[in-house]
Amino acid sequence: MRTKPLVGISADRTMIGAHPSHVAGEKYIAAIVDGSQALAMLLPALGERQSADDVLATVDGLLFTGSYSNVEPRRYGGHASAPGTLHDAARDATTLPLLRAAIAAGVPVLAVCRGFQEMNVAFGGTLHQCVHAVAGLNDHRENKQDELDVQYAPSHSITLTRGGLLQRLAGGANEARVNSLHGQGVERLGAGLMTEATAPDGLIEAASVKDARAFALGVQWHPEWRHASDALSTAIFREFGEACRDRMRTRAGYGAASAATQT
């Protein structure tokens, strides 16, 4: 019997040389292994070639990662993207149905940056394709010329929803400081999602799933970066890990009970 839960981590489909490949950033893997105290397994972007039911029967939780690519606008009725925008149709075909199925099945879900945008789209929400071009909203992009520690440094505050999951994880605080490395953002929040945090310009920075059977949180920033040095990031990955452990124990108990019944 495993002593640690197994967390599936969404992968991007990209080219490495001439070869189609499936990749995920090490920072996400490290946050699951060290921050959630779980086993990490990469989920390739194979769409229907690996059914959601088979995936959910295997994992104890799912992490939907950030990415340089954007959700295809046809997935939420948006206008055509600007020329040169990076998309990943294989990832969309994998993550969008899997995310809804996971939450319906009570599998813990943590969604980060693109993953948060996927969560919103999966629940019928829409996205700003260029947040910085929307009147009244700030530029939430990083300066790609900066060193990584500067890019991922806290850049603005967020207001935490009173009584929400994030406020509880933040020890009851009303605000937190987060990094900001995204060009897209939530336009209309999906049905069944609840705002957990907003930026100073009003942009939704986090949401949870109303009436979810297990942990189901999406955040626009990157808590995986230096997660152990930030109290809120630490709390997010710890809580997610505990939810995955609870599912692992429940599944183990169900399996043992089923085996005993058959014998």
Residue owning tokens 């996400």: 28
- Buried-exposed string 101-119: b where 16+ CB fall within 10 A, e elsewhere: bbbeebbbbbbbbbbbbbb
3-state SS of the chain is: CCCCCEEEEECEEEEECCEEEEECCHHHHHHHHHHCCCEEEEECCCHHHCCHHHHHCCCCEEEECCCCCECCHHHCCCCCCCCCCCECHHHHHHHHHHHHHHHHCCCCEEEECHHHHHHHHHCCCEEECCHHHCCCCCCCCCCCCCCHHHHCCCCEEEEECCCCHHHHHCCCCCEEEECCCCCCEEEECCCCEEEEEECCCCCEEEEEECCCCCCEEEECCCCCCCHHHCHHHHHHHHHHHHHHHHHHHHHHHHHHHHHHHHC
pTM above 0.85, yes or no: yes
Residues with catalytic annotation?
113, 222, 224
pLDDT of residue 262: 60
| Predicted local confidence at residue 255, as pLDDT | 62
Cα–Cα distance measured from residue 147 to residue 153, given in angstroms and rounded to the nearest whole number: 10
Q: Which residues contact 24 (CB under 8 A, 6 or more apart)?
A: 9, 10, 11, 12, 42, 65
CA atoms within 13 A of residue 75's CA, in its CB half-sphere: 27
Cα–Cα distance between 119 and 100 in angstroms, integer? 8
Between CA 116 and CA 39 the distance in angstroms is 22
Locate 220 and state its tokens.
Answer: 């626009």
Query: Do 185 and 203 meet the contact criterion of CB atoms below 8 Å apart?
Result: yes
Whole-Å CA distances, 99 to 91, 119, 193, 238? 12, 7, 13, 21
Whole-number pLDDT of residue 261: 56
Contact 110, 181 (CB under 8 A): no
Question: Which residue type does 262 have?
Answer: Q
Q: What's residue 32's pLDDT? A: 98
Residue 142: per-residue pLDDT = 98
Determine the pLDDT at residue 2.
87
List per-block mean pLDDT (blocks of 10 residues) for the chain, which spans 263 residues: 94 98 98 98 97 98 98 98 97 98 98 98 98 98 97 98 98 98 98 98 98 98 98 98 97 66 57
